[in-house]
Amino acid sequence: MSAPAMPEKVAGIIPVKFEKFGLRHYLICLKGLVLRECLRFLHQRERFISSLVRPLIWLFIFAAGFRQVLGVSIIPPYKTYVLYEVYITPGLCGMILLFSGMQSSLSMVYDREMGNMRTLLVSPFPRWFLLVSKMLAGVSVSIAQVYAFLIVAWFWGVKAPPIGYLMVLPALFLSGMMLCALGMLLSSMIKQLENFAGIMNFVIFPGYFASPALYPLWRIQEASPLLYKICLANPFTYAVELIRFAFYGQINWLSLGVVAGCTLLFLAAAIIAYDPSRGLMTRKQDTGGNA
Amino acid sequence: MAALDVAGVSHSYGPKRALNDVSFSIAPATFTVLLGLNGAGKTTLFSLISHLYDTRGGSIRIFGHDVSRASGEALRRVGIVFQARTLDLDLSVHQNLSYHAALHGIGGREARQRIAALLDIVDMQGRQHDKARSLSGGQIRRIEIARALLHRPSLLLLDEATVGLDIQSRAGILATIRKLVETEGIGVLWATHLIDEVEDGDHVVVLRQGELVAKGKVADVVRTSGAGSIRDAFSRLSRIETAGIAEISP
């Protein structure tokens, strides 16, 4: 490589007077992070297809098989008997958000192992802003996946009231933020990519099955009071119910409160965990880990 | 004001001491080589300067801004090329650079103009739509240098930037960085264990097992260490027990 003369347009790097970051700069940074996440998602077609296929298998095969076995009585927000496919659709939306949130955790671990994470962490923007922006980027991609699933489900005959598709957006957003924040927190604890299998076994599967995603809570209570209590302690339960009620233009206030509270809790913990002076990343320094 | 001021910095990984009371400073528009064998503490020092790790002992200032207390202001003034490749291989060159520009609050036309100009500087014009995955090691390094310069830093840190590259690529990258010091007045901290990358007019900082064993101009380090050349001096300072720091005024 030769050393060409510096073009006039970049000459004068020194001295530079840095203007204070304003709202415009923060928005540019946010846009950059969202765009990168979208581009990565689009470049990884297998990820897009698998994210869509997973809930569709549950809808097309599992729901069809269990429709006759699992009767669903009239429970809020439903005003009449609904098909099992209709019942599990909010849970499948939650499933997409859950897997996507954990996938973003996986990508954080991958980025950290590959070194890409460093480029993010040496940005001059506050670290809390970078992490929140990264979460927003992840949630944007998750919500796009949910709507792609809902379109296919609509053609399969699973239809919510038209207004429900709009009303569910804030519920998806908040639930997605909670799950992404949890994923981010977990990513700060995982040292190597290989450990992600543990997340599948200890977070995703228990979180998904110990919730009303596939069967109503009253049925779980009848089957096992202990499991019922576990379901009540599971934040994913409230994310599913928040989404379910939102499809019918209703707000489940308890679910809203729990999901909002857990989002703040997980987010605060993730920000602390990624703080070089206080968090878990600091403890990794002690063992010679990379930040 | 010093471009970089490292004062009494220590760092440990559990019981293992990685850096012990390291102090040196870099003036603007100078090329300083941070010399040390593998495990000397170069990468730890870079992680502390770039605030990936918190500075627990001592202080680090970049143009007067404390890295721990005012990390944002400090990081705006520094461009970093890490030892590990940090481009996103799934994205194109332009997408990688745009992402970095956004991380510094630079967007739109301004980002596009800077990217085009910097690709000229690193001799990668016309490659902006290529996937990073399709580039050679040397080309990836050039893009990483362009990326480090995008936000117009006043201090450039390069950690083993030429490791794994062929002789021609190494020489080209080194020449480009040296030219930036001359024409743009950027202060450079160039970490390496390759002694042939040091030139007579450079400043050097020599680390050995986390200890600073020499600092100053090349000629002064050579003289103080009693060696005949910087190669011999580095060899002595790195492998032979030395009694204290060879203090040389710049």
Long-range contacts (CB closer than 8 Å, 24 or more residues apart) made by A263-272: A263/A174, A263/A177, A263/A178, A263/A181, A266/A178, A266/A181, A266/A182, A266/A184, A266/A185, A267/A131, A267/A132, A267/A135, A267/A177, A267/A181, A267/A184, A269/A185, A270/A131, A270/A181, A270/A184, A270/A185, A270/A188, A271/A127, A271/A128, A271/A131
pLDDT at A2: 44
In tens digits, chain A (291 residues) has pLDDT values of 444 444 433 444 444 556 788 899 999 999 999 998 888 888 777 777 887 888 898 888 887 777 766 666 677 777 777 778 888 899 999 999 998 888 777 777 777 766 777 888 889 999 889 989 988 988 998 999 999 999 999 998 888 888 889 999 999 999 999 999 988 888 877 766 666 677 777 888 888 888 888 888 888 888 888 999 999 999 999 999 999 999 988 899 999 999 999 999 999 998 888 876 554 454 454 444 333
B249 and chain A: CB distance < 8 Å anywhere? Answer: no
pLDDT at B153: 92
Closest-CA distance, B227 to chain A, in angstroms, reads 32
pLDDT at B69: 86
Nearest to B48 by CA among B79, B3, B10, B2: B10
pLDDT for B44 beyond 70: yes
User: Choosing among B54, B80, B130, B181, which should be mutated to test the A contact, i.e. which has the most A CBs within 10 A?
Assistant: B54
Q: Which two tokens stand for residue B102?
A: 């956004």
A225 and chain B: CB distance < 8 Å anywhere? Answer: no
| Chain A residue with Cα closest to B81 | A119
Interface predicted TM-score (ipTM): 0.83
Contact A196, A106 (CB under 8 A): yes
Compare CB distances from B176 to A1, A123, A126 and report the shortest one's residue: A1
The greatest distance separating any two alpha carbons of chain B, rounded to the nearest whole angstrom, comes to 56
Chain B segment 169-198 residues within 8 A of A by beta carbon are 169, 171-173, 175-176, 178-180, 183-186
For the whole model, what pTM was predicted? Answer: 0.81
Contacts of B19 in chain A (CB under 8 A): none
To which H or E segment does residue B191 belong? strand B187-192
- Phi and psi at B7, nearest 5°, equal -125, 110
Mean pLDDT, to the nearest integer, of B63-81? 90
Contacts of A276 in chain B (CB under 8 A): 51-54
Closest-CA distance, B225 to chain A, in angstroms, reads 32
How many Å apart are CA B114 and CA B101, to the nearest integer?
9
Compare CB distances from B98 to A11, A32, A288 and report the shortest one's residue: A32
- Name B34's bridge partners: B191, B205
Contacts of B10 in chain A (CB under 8 A): none
| Chain A residue with Cα closest to B115 | A10
Nearest to A108 by CA among A165, A55, A181, A163: A181
Per the model's pLDDT, the better-predicted residue between B54 and A27 turns out to be A27
How many Å apart are CA B100 and CA B106, to the nearest integer?
9
The greatest distance separating any two alpha carbons of chain A, rounded to the nearest whole angstrom, comes to 78
A283 CA to centre of own chain:
26
Q: Do B88 and A124 touch (CB under 8 A)?
A: no
Chain A segment 21-60 residues within 8 A of B by beta carbon are 21, 24-26, 28-29, 31-33, 35-36, 39-40, 43-44
pLDDT at A193: 65
